[in-house]
Amino acid sequence: QRENALARTLGEHLQNYMAKRTDVKAATAVNWGHTQRNLLKFFGPDRRLSSITAGDARDFERWLRTSEAREHRYANTDADQGLSPNTARKRISNAKQFFEDAVQRELLSRNPFAGLKGSVGSNRERDHFITREDTQRILDACPNAQWRLIFALCRFGGLRCPTEVLALRWNDIDRSRGRIRVTSIKTEGHEGKGIREIPLFPELSQVLDEAWDQAECHEEYVITLYRDPNTNMRTPFTRILKRTGLKPWPKLFQNLRASRATELAREYPGYVAAAFIGHSTAVANKHYWQVTDEDFERAIQGSSKVTQNATQHLYARPRTERQSVRTSHEKSPVLQVPAAFCETMRSGLVGDEGLEPGPSSSRETYFLEDGNAPCDALTV
């Protein structure tokens, strides 16, 4: 039995470990898969687990910083560039975890990765603030309402992409209170951290209305374009950026979130700004809040007045003539109607004016009282 344990190969151990860890989220399994791929490429699947030394682990750490360790190369990486320091440390941390499991199963007497640094630090060199001017250019270049909303939820709502964006449902949007409920898969393991509320920021209101107008009756999720959390959203977003002439920045979606976190920190106390984004002030200060060119301009001018109106509506897409024009603050008496009536209205009782509501109708709420959505609320 002991001889069989000493003969266990790296490939066998990693396969067994991944098969047993069905308790982790899909995103974690994907992250582990990248580390597994690196280990097998560097050491080979047939390498005996017990033959890997601390020196070999150090060689692997250095190899991660070479171009051979990369599987994908994005527009902002050079041809000879390896993994970023934080990515390399994360993969060392994963490898340390895989080998520690082997120690606990008495396949190894010691962990060869134990002495390597696996903690992820802050890399502020990859920070990028997306200005309001560039934001408008990107909104104009988005090919459809779904992508305008994906971008707006990240840039103006500060949502994590793809997890929080794809988890958003129509019944999470409460217009009467002006709030949006955000479900966070990343932080749900921490007590009281799985759900947070953010304001229905004015910049989000109109793009949400546009998506609502195009949604099918009884649609549950706000974003229907991508339903797999592991879908590659980076490639289509990069294409959108190319239409604007902007160069893709590092950490494409995280820097959208960081840009919003920075704006909120200017307007609200730190604890409020951090609560809206869904992290602590310590994390915000270490990873998100940025000093921008606008901050320098304000300091040079000696003025504390913010030079841009953060609540200004940037996006104003023209509506059809048959649509009623309303703001997110308008209120009107609403008659709630059953879902069956909604289906009848959509399927059979459509007049010459088409599918869009006429001037006498308004949508004040996104959901009916019975939870069905999205259906029209008829104004009386």
Residues 62 and 84: their CA atoms lie apart, in Å, by 12
**CA distances (Å), origin 355, targets 106, 149, 213, 322:** 68, 22, 10, 10
The pLDDT of residue 78 is: 59
The pLDDT of residue 374 is: 52
pTM of the model: 0.60
Those residues of the chain that have pLDDT short of 50 are 1, 3, 75, 190, 304, 307-308, 310-313, 318-365, 367-372, 376-380
What does the DSSP 8-state code read for residue 191?
A: T
The pLDDT of residue 194 is: 77
| Phi and psi based region of residue 371 (left: phi greater than 0; alpha: psi -120 to 50; beta: remaining) | left
The pLDDT of residue 77 is: 55
Torsion of CA 55, 60, 62, 64, to 10 degrees: -170
What is the chain's percent helix, strand, coil content, to nearest 5? 45, 5, 50
The pLDDT of residue 80 is: 66
3-class SS string, 50-96: HHCCHHHHHHHHHHCCCHHHCCCCCCCCCCCCCCCHHHHHHHHHHHH
Alpha helices for the chain (secondary structure H): 2-6, 10-20, 26-43, 54-63, 85-104, 132-141, 145-155, 163-167, 202-214, 234-244, 252-267, 270-277, 281-283, 293-301, 339-347
The pLDDT of residue 293 is: 82
Residue that is written with structure tokens 């690196």 in the block = 38
Within 8 A by CB and 6+ apart from 215, the residues are: 170, 222, 224, 374
| Residues constituting the chain | 380
Q: Is the peptide bond before 374 cis (omega within 30 degrees of 0)?
A: yes
Residue that is written with structure tokens 């009916």 in the block = 368
Structure tokens at 59: 């060689």
| Phi and psi based region of residue 201 (left: phi greater than 0; alpha: psi -120 to 50; beta: remaining) | beta
